[in-house]
Each structure stands twice: as structure tokens, then as C-alpha cells.
């Protein structure tokens, strides 16, 4: 999935799925907590600089999340991952 189609709700759902706080995800993505909060609050595609959105996506994928966008955005744990 391309980070340009990543939604704020997907980010929030992915973070909850793997049990990480906003502080933890922001640290893993090397962005500020307010930046992550703005991304998660976005209606539709996550707002923010493309490199920051990509960093958040990468941090959550490394934590075990798979982002889906098969007509309707979603998230799930990668095969073999546990929350």
C-alpha cells in the first residue's frame, strides 16, 4: 500500500491493534506527538509531510501491522504476529 492512501483512522487503528501509545509510535517514527495526533485526527488521507506519514507507516509495519486498502481501508496483524 502506498502511504498517500493511508488514512488517519488506519493509523489510529493500527496503533491500537499493536498496543502502542502515541508517544511510542512517535518515537519509533522520529516525529513529534502533536504531528502524530494531527495525522490520526485527519478525515481521509493522513495529513502531514509525506516523509512523516511514511515513517509512521514503516514504524507500525515493523511493529507487526499490515495496512489494507481493498476498496475500503483497514489494518490487520501480519501472519504470525500477536498483539
Domain ranges of the chain: 3-77
Give the architecture (CATH level 2) of 3-77. Answer: Orthogonal Bundle (1.10)
pLDDT in tens, 33-60: 999 999 999 988 999 999 999 999 999 9
Helices (H), the chain: 8-17, 22-29, 33-41, 50-62
Which stretch of 17-26, 46-55, 62-71 has the lowest confidence by average pLDDT? 62-71
C-alpha cell at 59: 514504524
3-state helix, strand, coil in the chain (%, to 5): 50, 15, 35
Amino acid at each position: 500500500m502506498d502511504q498517500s492512501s493511508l488514512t488517519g483512522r488506519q493509523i489510529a487503528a493500527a496503533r491500537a491493534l499493536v498496543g502502542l501509545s502515541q508517544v511510542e509510535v512517535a518515537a519509533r517514527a522520529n516525529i513529534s506527538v502533536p504531528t502524530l495526533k494531527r495525522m490520526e485526527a485527519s478525515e481521509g488521507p493522513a495529513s502531514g509531510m509525506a516523509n512523516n506519514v511514511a515513517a509512521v507507516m514503516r514504524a507500525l509495519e515493523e511493529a507487526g501491522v499490515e495496512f489494507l486498502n481493498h476498496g475500503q481501508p483497514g489494518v490487520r496483524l501480519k501472519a504470525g504476529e500477536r498483539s
